[in-house]
Amino acid sequence: MPFEERLRQARSLLEKKLLVVSELTRRLQPKGITPIVVGGSAVEIYSAGDYLSADIDLVVASRQQAIAELQQMGFRVEGRVFYHPEWDITLEIPDETLAGDAERITEIQIDGGTVYCIGLEDLILDRLNAFVHQRSEEDGRWARVLLQAYATEIDTNYLKARAEQESTRAALEAMLQEIADATPMELGNSEPAE
Amino acid sequence: MRRRWNWATQSQRSEAVRQAMRQLGLTGRRARTRPRDPDELRLLIQRSVAHIQRARAEGRWQKLGTRRWRIEFRE
């Protein structure tokens, strides 16, 4: 099915956004560039669409090449954001470097395409940073949601080590304790085999 | 007097506001001004966790491997 037609059939904004990112990925990967979803859109992915984000935040190693592709796709530059008037999609490239571990990036298959997303642990740390250092309660809430929803799958050793470096360890420990007290579920480091 | 809204005019107005916001770079997160009640916060967290668990149980958000997922939007 042609891309435009598939996009028209999308029933949610998240579906539409991920289709657009998978199309951008398809165009950039032959040039050795992989866009990575970060920020609110990544929370939207890991929360199964429960968190709503207006735009798409991407980390792309080569901003210039990404801009060229976005313009070919019909995006226009408005200030520091890219906007597609027909698709009503807003996209930002806040950085060229991923604030996290490249080995932890999650590959997401969607309708024949692929989208890459910041690792779950790095996303939780990002929210935790905003919670502690910018006193953003909402970010604290989403860090807590993701910690609980994926309690048995996340690498808590990695989380704790990085939280220590970023002065968010106390907040992380408090959240983990809250979750352990609330549920009988054991917080583990093991993940199911590939 | 009852206020009347015209959808076409209102849509254009909304688009103008959104365009101005994009140009000003006001597309990011907005901070809440009112702190949440602890019970409200607890309920919101439980609701979101349940939402994720349901999506996974129904196979819409499917984990294929350690760092591989598949999202099924179509029923």
| Structure-block tokens of residue A5 | 């037609």
pTM for the whole structure: 0.85
What total of structural domains would you count in chain A? Answer: 2
Interface pTM (ipTM) of the complex?
Answer: 0.86
Model confidence at A44: pLDDT above 90: yes
Q: Quick check: A28 pLDDT over 60?
A: yes
How would DSSP label each residue in A99-142? SS-GGGPEEEEETTEEEEE--HHHHHHHHHHHHHHS--HHHHHH
**Two tokens at A8?**
């028209």
Cβ–Cβ below 8 Å for B70 and A12: no
Q: Which pLDDT does position A1 carry in this prediction?
A: 81
Both A69 and A84 in one domain: the answer is yes
Whether residue A193 is contained in a domain is answered as no
pLDDT band, very low/low/confident/very high, at B35 (cuts 50, 70, 90): confident
With H, G, I as helix, E, B as strand and everything else as coil, classify residue B21: helix
C-beta of residue A23 within 8 angstroms of C-beta of residue A92: no
pLDDT in tens, A53-67: 989 999 999 999 999
What pLDDT is stored for residue A154 in this prediction?
A: 94
Give the pLDDT band of residue B17 (cuts 50, 70, 90): confident
pLDDT value, residue B73:
84
- Mean pLDDT confidence for A168-191: 76
Distance from CA of A14 to the nearest CA of B (A): 9
Q: Is the pLDDT of residue B75 over 70?
A: no
Q: Report how many Cβ contacts below 8 Å link chain A to chain B.
A: 102
Q: In this model, does residue B12 exceed pLDDT 80?
A: no
Q: Do A106 and B67 touch (CB under 8 A)?
A: yes
- pLDDT beyond 70 at B32: no
Share of chain A above pLDDT 70, in %: 94
Residue A192 domain flag: no
Q: Give yes or no for residue B23 having a pLDDT over 60.
A: yes
Domain spans of chain B, in order of start = 37-75
* Predicted pLDDT of residue B29: 58
Report the DSSP beta bridge partners of residue A119: none
What single DSSP character describes residue B37? P
Same domain, A80 and A18: yes
Same domain, A175 and A107: no
Q: Which of A87, A118, A149 is the last residue of a domain?
A: A118
Set of chain B residues whose Cβ sits within 8 Å of the Cβ of A141: 36, 41, 44-45
User: Does the pLDDT value for residue A184 go beyond 60?
Assistant: no
**Burial class, A170, CB count within 10 angstroms (exposed 0-12 / middle 13-18 / buried 19+):** exposed
In A, which residues are within 8 Å of B15 by CB distance?
none
* Domain limits for position A70: 3-118
Of A118, A148, A164, which closes a domain?
A118
Strands A106-110 and B68-71: parallel
pLDDT above 50 for A193: no
- For the segment A111-154, what is each residue's pLDDT rounded down to a tens digit? 889 999 999 999 999 999 999 999 999 999 999 999 999 999 99
